[in-house]
Amino acid sequence: MFTLVPLSMKNTIAERIFDFLKDFPPFNILEKDQLFEIASNIKVTYLEKNNFIFKQEAQPHNCFYVVKDGAIGLYRTMGEDQILVDICDEGDLFGLRPIIQNDHYLMSAKANEESIIYAIPVEILQEIIKTNTKAHKYLIASFSSNIKTPYAVTSNSNLFANVDSLEKTNTFSEVQTAKFSKNPITCVPSATIKEAANIMSSNRVGSILIVEDKKPIGIITDKDLRLKIATGLFSIEEKVGTIMSFPVITFPAKITIAEAQIAMIKYKITHLCITKDGTPDSELIGILSEHDIVVLHGNNPSVLIKELKRAKNVASLKYIREKTSALLNSYIEQNIPISFISKIISEITDAITIKAIELSLDEMEIQPPVKFGWLALGSQGRKEQLLITDQDNALVFEDVFNEDYHKTKDYFLKLSKKITDKLHTVGFEYCPSKMMASNPKWCLSLSEWKSQFKNWITKPSEKSIMMCTIFFDYNLVYGDSNLVRKMSKSIFKSIKSYEIFLNFLGKNALVNPPPLGFFRQFLVESDGAHKDQFDLKSRAFMPLIDAARLLILSHNVKNKNNTIERFEKLAKLEPQNKDLYFSCIDAFKILLRYRTEQGIKHNDSGRFIELNNLNKSEKLKLKGCFKPIKDIQELLNIRYNLAQMM
């Protein structure tokens, strides 16, 4: 029919469709001529609101669909109910799985608003899949995620497989295995210090491991010789055991650079022992020093920590905090796992806080009258703070006699004022709702804190529940851990005596319903200051954080503040819900990275995001995160019988 027409004939319409499709996966990974072939063979259909494209159980059409305009709801019929499983909007693909798997439709597709959809004949795609392995992989992954719903029959594949296949595969140094020195220099416990020092000198090393039955039991470094021998504290004729540091910190050979960095920061050490199975009870096979890592990795967070320790004033704290932001930036760019990033940044933030406390203590005329503890609250308490945000903190001090109370409290308020001012100078803004230790309400003695928590727990109101969600995630940054242990113990006792409190906490965790499908609904629903923006914090983060806190409290688990660690622990405690908790972890990591990226990009807290600026793969990622939120809220709903309380 078109024999008269030259091959180069213009096809404006197909070009237009080509331009539309090329931005969306999987079309963005197709060859140009493959995509043009698809664009030239599309059929365009218009659907009025509530019209069906296909119905559940029906035999598959010979084409699959892409939404051009409008929104298509995918519904699963369960008995009497129509459950909305997903909403497809601009660029979303649906109805492909049944064709490829030669199966009937598992869901119905209905226009939620008037829509224009493109129908793509499946034969063309089958041709393309044969030659384009990337497209093939993507499609296989997207099927598995499409059916990853609580109602799917089979769902053993990764929810985020499609996201992974979209991201560039990146090898980053932090997850590379660290290269440690094999054949470490050692001596036996019966050796004298002098003998050990001679072995170190002849081998030109700065450290020696003390080994018994091939197992590492201690370490002596140049620093020990300087501090303990050169000062005359010990004689060089004494046995190495008298001055060695022990126990040693051991790891298996597959330790990553990031793990090594974190361990060194955490234990404030410079050497790690590598043993066969990673425990101190197995054969020593090597040693990893901080120097090994610095050589491998120039810009290093432990350098920042060291600078912090040397810092003499607030200005240098501020400088280090700025360098930390640069470090965060490069970590995000390098696609380093978010849990590593958040651990490192949290350690640095804690170290800055500690330094601010130490500097403030130096400025005080007298030593603290009693023991005290400085608590980080909220996201810093959970160690999830990546971007610089407001400071939330509190102070607990030892109980004193009534007549000394005012004097003591005044001292700690004065100290807290100095600390919060310094943190403010560093860049941590004052908390607008004054949840800071400098506020007399949050600078309390141990027994005051105990009764405050008891009060919140046994008289749950909307406000007290909110306070609990902030104050429950406390983490001791500086001071006496005993005080905090006593406080935690008392809190768990109060919860135990008043278990309905958990139901109130559960109710609070469901305040923000799952945002599934918000990409369309949100835009029409909302107005006000953040119109057309999505509140990532309250709609995505808080439901996960609240759920993790509630569940971990219900298991009576102390000292787990971090949301990821809480879900990890829950997966162990409730193996039957393991998949759900792991998907929550995945979702939380993706959200945390996403928020950090947004924050860096817009130089703000990353809390509100412009929906219109999201590209397809970002939308896919976020949508993937909402399914676990929905599922975990359902779990809370059933477990705490919350439907009755609402």
Binding site for another protein (CB under 8 A): 1, 4-6, 8-14, 16-17, 39-46, 48, 69, 114, 116, 119
Nearest approach in angstroms of CB 72 to another protein is: 16
Complex with another protein: residue 40 or 451, whichever CB lies closer: 40
Complex with another protein: residue 1 or 153, whichever CB lies closer: 1
Nearest approach in angstroms of CB 522 to another protein is: 19
Nearest approach in angstroms of CB 575 to another protein is: 50
Query: What would you report as the CA-atom Rg of the chain, rounded to the nearest whole angstrom?
Result: 30
Nearest approach in angstroms of CB 48 to another protein is: 5
Nearest approach in angstroms of CB 19 to another protein is: 9
Q: Cα angle at 417 between 412 and 420, to 5 degrees?
A: 120
Packing angle of the helix pair 32-40, 122-131 (nearest 10 deg): 170
φ, ψ dihedrals at 401, nearest 5°: -65, 150
Burial class of residue 419, CB neighbours in 10 A (0-12, 13-18, 19+): buried
> Shortest CA distance to 193 belongs to which of 143, 161, 165, 228?
228
Nearest approach in angstroms of CB 6 to another protein is: 6
Bridge partners, 186 (sequence order): 209
φ, ψ dihedrals at 312, nearest 5°: -110, -15
Complex with another protein: residue 21 or 443, whichever CB lies closer: 21
> Shortest CA distance to 269 belongs to which of 226, 238, 224?
224
Judge whether 599 and 565 are in contact, CB under 8 Å.
no
Within 10 Å of residue 509's Cβ, how many Cβ atoms?
Answer: 26
Nearest approach in angstroms of CB 395 to another protein is: 58
What SS3 class is residue 67?
Answer: strand
**Residue 297 half-sphere exposure toward CB, CA atoms < 13 A:** 23
Complex with another protein: residue 51 or 497, whichever CB lies closer: 51
Within 10 Å of residue 417's Cβ, how many Cβ atoms?
Answer: 16
Complex with another protein: residue 44 or 58, whichever CB lies closer: 44
Complex with another protein: residue 58 or 638, whichever CB lies closer: 58
Cα–Cα distances in angstroms (integers) from residue 307 to residues 266, 348, 445, in the given order: 16, 11, 34
Complex with another protein: residue 14 or 413, whichever CB lies closer: 14
Which amino acid is residue 316, in one-letter code? S
Complex with another protein: residue 41 or 192, whichever CB lies closer: 41
Complex with another protein: residue 4 or 366, whichever CB lies closer: 4
Q: How far is the C-alpha of 7 from the C-alpha of 255, rounded, in Å?
A: 59
Judge whether 224 and 246 are in contact, CB under 8 Å.
no
Which amino acid is residue 151, in one-letter code? Y
Complex with another protein: residue 33 or 403, whichever CB lies closer: 33
Which amino acid is residue 426, in one-letter code? V
DSSP sequence for 182-220: ES--EE-TTSBHHHHHHHHHHHT-SEEEEEETTEEEEEE
Q: What is the dihedral of CA 560, 561, 562, 564, to 10 degrees?
A: 50
Nearest approach in angstroms of CB 459 to another protein is: 53
Prior bond to 440 cis, omega within 30? no
Nearest approach in angstroms of CB 29 to another protein is: 22
Nearest approach in angstroms of CB 21 to another protein is: 12
Nearest approach in angstroms of CB 69 to another protein is: 6
What SS3 class is residue 309?
Answer: helix
Complex with another protein: residue 9 or 646, whichever CB lies closer: 9
Q: What is the dihedral of CA 79, 84, 85, 90, to 10 degrees?
A: 150
